[in-house]
Structure 1
Amino acid sequence: MLYGICSDIHSNAVAFQAVLESMKENGVERRICLGDLVGYGVDADECVRLARENMDVCLIGNHDSVAIKYESSTGFNPYAKQAIEWTQSHLSKESIDYMRTLPYIYEDNDICYVHASPLSPADWVYVTELEDALDAFDHFSGRYCFVGHTHSPVIVASRPMAIPKILDEYEYTIEDTERLLVNVGSVGQPRDRDPRSCWCLLDSETKCVRLIRVDYDIAQTQERMRNAGMPSFLIERLAVGR
């Protein structure tokens, strides 16, 4: 089975469509989104629709949770807060109803999917350090765990009786005794200094995981945001991937 896993769409429909096309070109058979369909950008309803129509599994992210008023935006920075308040005023009832059905975590045989960390899915714990990865490995039982939230792709491998290792490569075939924690990066707002969208391809037969970058029309997304009056900081960061 070929799995396509993506995360952090952030109301960027142009990028989302490019990733969906890339998944199709790569023969993906099962599509999973790890959440944050909305926030930052201005294509909230369109991104929710694309997820509803194309994803086999979709999870809730922290921006989604605030958008549908499960929690407040108190912890957001001023730019994120402005964007999520704009999103709240523009989301359709259909989108809200769909987002309210989304789970925090999903397990499928030996694969775990979660937006932030399996440690405490609804608390939005960031996995940014090796210590965070250690905690994450302790809270899923399968061979693979796919996460998002940080917007930066990375593969971490763990073997019995050994400290997990952060891998330099973006393509890796798992060994018999290993388990993997994979951050699939971001579709709509990468932050690893590469502005291209990112998603992850898992081949369950060959046990190979590959992080794939996809070009999209950044200027088109920026123009949509500019027309909606989004902060220039949110607009300009898309071109530099930060």
Structure 2
Amino acid sequence: MRFLILSDIHGNIDALDAVLARSPRDSYDRLLVLGDLVGYGANPNEVVDRIFDLTPDVMIRGNHDKVATGVEGADSFNRIAAEAARWTQKALTPENRERVAALPAGPKNVDRDVEVCHGSPFDEDAYVFDEEGAERALESAHRPICFFGHTHVPVAYIQKGAALSVLHPQPGGPETTVVNVVKKHRYLINPGSIGQPRDTDPRAAYATYDSRKQRIEVRRVPYRIDLAQQRITEAGLPESLAFRLGLGR
């Protein structure tokens, strides 16, 4: 089974289209979407339409999906994120607002080996930034392979018995970082963000998993950042959201 794993698109249609061009429909069997379709970027409706047209096999909500559709308030957001969420809520069509608001919470089991969540298996809004958080997440995971998002930073935590190793794809490095899956090991994999990377690499990030080959790939794809920046500026969103795309932060 070949999986395509997308996370944290954040209304960036240019980045999403670059990823989908690199991974066309015949290159995967199942599509997993880890949340935050919207927020920050200037094309929430286009992103929602594009993703729903692909009929993901498993899709869960992110924190921006909740706030931008009124499911939750913006109390936990900083000023820029809250402003972007308000803009997004107004920009979304009624149909798309309803579709995004109805997304289920994670975690969700995909099959006997894979589960997905937005933040962590123990809390959909928790951030996993380090080994301590990863160990807690792995303790809560129900499957040997768990894909998560939320931090916008691609990383692979690999648990071998009591030992935990960490693989950080090199920012600006090769377009593909490979994780070979070994039975009895446990994996916590963040594919990174498509729409707003934060690891100092501005390329869109996503992942694939081939269960037959037992191979996970964290991939990077360049895209027209200037177009995404222009859309943000012309939409009247905070300029800092455009600026940070070029920095990958």
Say whether the fold is shared (TM-score over 0.5). Answer: yes
Taking the aligned partners of 2:126 and 2:97, their CA distance within structure 1 comes to 24
Taking the aligned partners of 1:68 and 1:229, their CA distance within structure 2 comes to 19
Taking the aligned partners of 2:5 and 2:130, their CA distance within structure 1 comes to 22
Residue matched to 1:229: 236
Gaps of 5+ in 2: 170-176
Residue matched to 2:188: 181
Aligned residue type for 2:229? Q
Taking the aligned partners of 1:141 and 1:62, their CA distance within structure 2 comes to 22
Aligned residue type for 1:193? T
Superposition map of 1:45-84 within 5 A: 45-54=45-54, 55-84=56-85
2:72 match: secondary structure? coil
Task: Count residues in correspondence.
Answer: 239
Out of 215-224 and 99-108, give the one that drifted further.
99-108
1:31 match: secondary structure? strand
Residue matched to 2:110: 108
Q: TM-score, normalised by structure 2?
A: 0.93
Aligned residue type for 1:108? V
Superposition map of 1:57-206 within 5 A: 57-105=58-106, 106-109=108-111, 110-121=113-124, 124-160=125-161, 162-168=162-168, 170-206=177-213
Taking the aligned partners of 2:35 and 2:11, their CA distance within structure 1 comes to 11
Taking the aligned partners of 1:233 and 1:168, their CA distance within structure 2 comes to 26
Taking the aligned partners of 1:97 and 1:78, their CA distance within structure 2 comes to 25
Residue matched to 2:5: 5
1:24-50 Cα offsets, whole Å, 9 max, x none, are: 188122111100000001101111111
Taking the aligned partners of 1:201 and 1:10, their CA distance within structure 2 comes to 19
CA contact (8 A) 1:7 1:186 kept: yes
Gaps of 5+ in 1: none
1:165 match: secondary structure? strand
CA contact (8 A) 2:156 2:190 kept: yes
Taking the aligned partners of 1:137 and 1:175, their CA distance within structure 2 comes to 16
Query: Hey, which bits of structure 1, 4+ residues long, moved more than 6 A?
Result: none
| CA RMSD in angstroms, aligned pairs only | 1.3
2:245 is matched with which residue: 208, 219, 238? 238
Aligned residue type for 1:154? V
* Distance change in 2, residues 1:212/1:227 (3 Å): same
Taking the aligned partners of 1:217 and 1:7, their CA distance within structure 2 comes to 19
Superposed displacement of residue 101, structure 1: 2.6
Taking the aligned partners of 1:141 and 1:159, their CA distance within structure 2 comes to 16
Identity of aligned residues (%): 38
Taking the aligned partners of 1:66 and 1:222, their CA distance within structure 2 comes to 23
Taking the aligned partners of 2:88 and 2:168, their CA distance within structure 1 comes to 36
Out of 175-184 and 162-171, give the one that drifted further.
162-171
CA contact (8 A) 2:65 2:101 kept: no
Superposed displacement of residue 163, structure 1: 2.8
